[in-house]
């Protein structure tokens, strides 16, 4: 058996290499900055050839170091992206809950999480760059060091403030976008009623208002990002300018040699380059952290080997009940769940399938294929054939037989190319439910869940559906109903009370 478990944090696997490469990047950059200062001094003196060769070596080494970082970043991002995408299927097995962001957020979260190793590298690089303060003190003196430390200390609270504002705006933006998506779907669903009442403008105006507020929040987030970037550029420029001024006066007084003056300026520039890269990626770091939390908060289904028991619950208490339940569903068994309307039958089914969390207890299930049919089950915009086969290679004779045994006969069902609408317009509720049931049976599931569909079927249709189910003796079935079950001889009956 298998339970829903949280996926491991893939970026953590690259934390050690990120720290190592970040330290090499920072320390190597400082060493190359010092070599550049020495080479420039040689070029300005009487060692032109040696200076040019040193500068060439510095440039080549910088290119190799940068290429190594880029290659490592691309490799780790690809691996993490592949790892999380392979787990996304389980996310889409869970229905979207009220207030939940769009499922497109999952793909965006994967992209952001894939940046985590590179962002960790930048953080380590900025921290290791503090070693440059030793070089600045040795080359430029205590005043240059104080200037650099003071401006670095000033940058920290500004970064934190910008990051906090960015996170708040991002949360507000995602909430507003989720509201916009849900309201669009809701208004589209009720478009015929709104049109009949002459209230189409109402829906359009509401969507426009939500969209405008979403745009406003996005623009505010962009301004925050620009402000953060300007802070890093300003502090970097001021620091380099002040250090250059201090060492310039030292040169005039003869207290500092040219190579030391250049080392102080170039190392200051190198140090702030790492800090600036780290600071400008502040918002991406926040996004990567929140995206990882989003992915880890969603369960992944870990399939287990085939078993005679397809689903088992132990001490299960659902959101709609206070009674603990113990049950199991094996191959070919039939479970009938009864109870009055509002007793929590649908909640129990959704909890057993992993679509809703439980209050207490656990549910274990194999990776058995499962068909689910309810009055709310939807069709797809497309032909009857596409709705029934879902792209699978099924003989048309088998498809026509399945329609016939479920009582779906007549001109509308003889032509498998008949176009259907997603809302099932032109079909009765009973016909739509039986089409969804036919789709499930054609997919040969191991477990079939029927959520109170008998009530929308007339007597002859119920008898035909019951007969059709008897043709699948190895199919495990869970049916929830108020008082008109399709299962005539269930293996177990379970009564749910509010």
Q: Which two tokens stand for residue 171?
A: 């949360």
Q: Which two tokens stand for residue 28?
A: 């190597």
The Cα 355–Cα 351 span in angstroms is 6
Which residues, 6 or more positions from 225, have their beta carbon under 8 angstroms from its beta carbon?
162, 166, 283
The Cα 269–Cα 123 span in angstroms is 17
pLDDT of residue 57: 92
The DSSP secondary structure of 378-436, one letter per residue, reads ---SEEHHHHHHTT----HHHHHHHHHHTT--SHHHH-TT-EE-TT-TTS-HHHHHHHH
Calculate mean pLDDT across residues 430-456: 91
pLDDT at 479 over 90: yes
More confident residue, 201 or 301: 201
> Do 239 and 268 meet the contact criterion of CB atoms below 8 Å apart?
yes
Q: Tokens 């709310």 identify what position?
A: 376
Q: Tokens 């709609």 identify what position?
A: 320
The Cα 282–Cα 226 span in angstroms is 12
Radius of gyration of the chain (CA): 33
Burial class from Cβ neighbours inside 10 Å (0-12, 13-18, 19+) for residue 280 reads middle
| pTM of model > 0.75 | no
Nearest alpha-carbon partner for 89 in 302, 279, 262, 305: 302
pLDDT at 101 over 50: no
pLDDT of residue 208: 75
Domains of the chain plus CATH, in order, are 8-300 (1.20.1560.10), 309-495 (3.40.50.300)
Nearest alpha-carbon partner for 225 in 150, 153, 173: 173
Phi–psi pair at 94, nearest 5 degrees = -100, 130
Q: What is the dihedral of CA 175, 178, 183, 186, to 10 degrees?
A: -140
The Cα 336–Cα 479 span in angstroms is 5
Q: What is the pLDDT of residues 151-187, one digit of tens each?
A: 888 776 776 676 667 667 766 776 777 676 667 767 6
Q: Which two tokens stand for residue 130?
A: 């503090």
Q: Which stretches of 318-375 are assigned E, i.e. beta strand?
A: 325-330, 334-338, 360-365, 370-374
Burial class from Cβ neighbours inside 10 Å (0-12, 13-18, 19+) for residue 439 reads buried
Q: Which two tokens stand for residue 279?
A: 């600071």
> Do 93 and 301 meet the contact criterion of CB atoms below 8 Å apart?
yes
Q: Tokens 């007969």 identify what position?
A: 467
Q: 120: pLDDT confidence band, cut at 50, 70 and 90? A: confident
Calculate the alpha carbon distances from 409 to 150, 402, 416 in Å: 83, 10, 11
pLDDT at 306 over 70: no
More confident residue, 7 or 133: 133
> Do 312 and 328 meet the contact criterion of CB atoms below 8 Å apart?
yes
Give the chain's end-to-end CA distance (angstroms, integer). 30
Which residues, 6 or more positions from 79, have their beta carbon under 8 angstroms from its beta carbon?
10
């Amino acid at each position: 058996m298998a339970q829903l478990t949280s996926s491991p944090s893939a970026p953590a696997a690259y934390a050690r290499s990120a720290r190592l490469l970040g330290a090499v990047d920072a320390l190597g950059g400082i060493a190359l900055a010092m070599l550049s200062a020495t080479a420039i001094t040689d070029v300005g003196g009487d060692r032109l050839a040696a200076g040019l060769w040193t500068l060439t070596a510095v440039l080549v080494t910088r290119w190799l170091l940068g290429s190594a970082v880029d290659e490592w970043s691309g490799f780790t991002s690809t691996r993490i992206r592949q790892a999380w995408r392979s787990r996304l299927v389980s996310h889409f097995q869970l229905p979207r809950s009220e207030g939940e962001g769009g499922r497109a957020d999952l793909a965006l979260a994967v992209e952001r999480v894939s940046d985590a190793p590179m962002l960790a590298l930048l953080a380590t690089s900025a921290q290791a760059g503090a070693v440059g303060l030793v070089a600045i003190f040795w080359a430029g003196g205590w005043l240059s060091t104080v200037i650099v430390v003071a401006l670095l200390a000033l940058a920290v609270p500004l970064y934190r403030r910008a990051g906090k504002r960015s996170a708040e705006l991002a949360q507000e933006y995602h909430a507003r976008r989720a509201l916009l998506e849900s309201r669009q779907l809701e208004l589209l669903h009720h478009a015929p009623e709104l049109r009949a009442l002459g209230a189409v403008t109402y829906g359009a105006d509401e969507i426009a208002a939500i969209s405008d507020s979403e745009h406003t929040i996005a623009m505010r987030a962009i301004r925050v990002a620009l402000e953060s970037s300007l802070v890093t550029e300003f502090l970097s420029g001021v620091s380099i300018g002040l250090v250059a001024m201090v060492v310039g006066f030292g040169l005039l007084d003869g207290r500092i040699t040219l190579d030391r003056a250049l080392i102080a300026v170039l190392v200051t520039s190198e140090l702030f380059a790492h800090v600036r890269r780290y600071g400008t990626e502040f918002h991406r770091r926040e996004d990567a952290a929140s995206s990882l939390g989003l992915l880890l908060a969603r369960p992944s289904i870990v399939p287990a080997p085939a078993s005679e028991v397809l689903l088992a619950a132990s001490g299960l208490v659902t959101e709609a009940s206070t009674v603990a339940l113990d049950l199991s569903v094996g191959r070919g068994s039939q479970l009938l769940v009864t109870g009055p309307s509002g007793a929590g039958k649908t909640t129990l089914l959704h909890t057993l399938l992993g679509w809703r969390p439980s209050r207490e207890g656990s549910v274990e299930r194999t990776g058995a294929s499962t068909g689910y049919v309810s009055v709310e089950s939807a069709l797809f915009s497309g032909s009857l054939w596409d709705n029934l086969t879902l792209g699978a290679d099924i003989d048309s004779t088998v498809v026509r037989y399945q329609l016939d045994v479920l009582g779906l006969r007549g001109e509308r069902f003889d032509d498998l190319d008949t176009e259907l609408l997603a809302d099932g317009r032109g079909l009765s509720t009973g016909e739509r439910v039986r089409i969804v049931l036919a789709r499930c049976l054609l997919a040969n599931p191991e477990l079939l869940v029927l959520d109170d569909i008998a009530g929308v079927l007339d007597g002859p249709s119920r008898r035909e559906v019951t007969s059709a189910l008897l043709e699948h003796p190895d199919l495990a079935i869970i049916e929830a109903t108020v008082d008109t079950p399709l299962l005539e001889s269930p293996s177990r009956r379970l009564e749910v009370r509010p």
